[in-house]
Structure 1
């Protein structure tokens, strides 16, 4: 499933292999998940090629198909887990300090950012350890 903010409440977007057709998507969702489907629309996206500095062409993104499925009942996304917000904040702070370093500014982040980054990494580390101990 793909988050698409421009869709209506009773529509859901999926990223599917290019070999799937509308009938496959409809039968899969109906038979496996028991969802009543009104309509299936598909869009093909081509492979994106990027040229490297060496002159070689590389595949930046493989080809895929996007399917927009209209269902009977309105669809609501589940609440986002807490660890997603922590990882997003950690990424934001890390990229901020990397950008500061690349632009030639101060290499060290302000004290407040450093302490917040340390708190986030400790929370994520504690969560990972709890998950590992729970699996054993």
Structure 2
């Protein structure tokens, strides 16, 4: 007497047929995940069963398990409305475990046929026309500002100002270079008078 064959697990699918979907499911490149896992960005009203049915009927991809994550975006403002803070709509991601592995194709050696160099140059030109900086330049400026603040706290204002005078450009001062005596005079006005100086010779405004 032979043993009864092991029956396969029956997976029930939804009965609502969608012929022209109005939603967008985006596959995200995740090199840190396993080839048996894939990450998608889905609409907020999407549930796990919707993604499972979509992958099976559209691409014949069987999914074993699905994990979902709703990411809350940070508060931000726009260029057209500065200081008008708002929180963008949340984003929903789903990570699925597939029956068969999927490996992303390698990047091409040259992006010239796709015009990537021209596109990057256009983005840089548009940012420069609007007075904006790229995220990389912003990080570099923030790092320099942090180092300058530490140098100012450790050495005082005089060495920092003199060092800045040597490498300043007309663009820093709106094409109007100030003589170095102005900086020395400003620094001298902040210093305290010596003990040998006569306080009576000072103006009334400085005595107060």
Q: With structure 1 as the length reference, what TM-score do the two structures score?
A: 0.57
Higher relative contact order structure (alpha carbons within 8 Å, sequence separation ≥ 6): 1
Structure 1 residue 56 displacement after superposition: 1.3
Give the 3 Å change call, closer, same or farther, for CA 85–38 of structure 1 in structure 2. Answer: same
Provide the residue aligned with 2:74 in structure 1.
48
Structure 1 segment 1-136 matched on structure 2, within 5 A: 1-51=27-77, 54-59=82-87, 61-80=88-107, 82-83=111-112, 87=116, 91=120, 95=124
SS in 2 for 1:24: helix
> What residue ranges of structure 1 are gaps of 5+ in the alignment?
106-136
Structure 1 residue 47 displacement after superposition: 3.6
Q: With structure 2 as the length reference, what TM-score do the two structures score?
A: 0.39
Q: Decide whether the 8 Å contact of 1:13 with 1:68 is kept in 2.
A: yes
Mapped to 2, the partners of 1:84 and 1:44 lie a distance apart of 37
Structure 1 residue 9 displacement after superposition: 1.2
- Aligned residue-pair number: 101
Q: Decide whether the 8 Å contact of 1:9 with 1:76 is kept in 2.
A: yes
RMSD: 3.5
SS in 2 for 1:29: helix
SS in 2 for 1:38: strand
Q: Decide whether the 8 Å contact of 1:48 with 1:62 is kept in 2.
A: no
> What residue ranges of structure 2 are gaps of 5+ in the alignment?
1-26, 134-140, 142-167, 170-208
- Structure having the higher strand fraction is 1
Give the 3 Å change call, closer, same or farther, for CA 51–13 of structure 1 in structure 2. Answer: same
Q: Decide whether the 8 Å contact of 1:48 with 1:63 is kept in 2.
A: no
Mapped to 2, the partners of 1:70 and 1:31 lie a distance apart of 16
SS in 2 for 1:32: helix
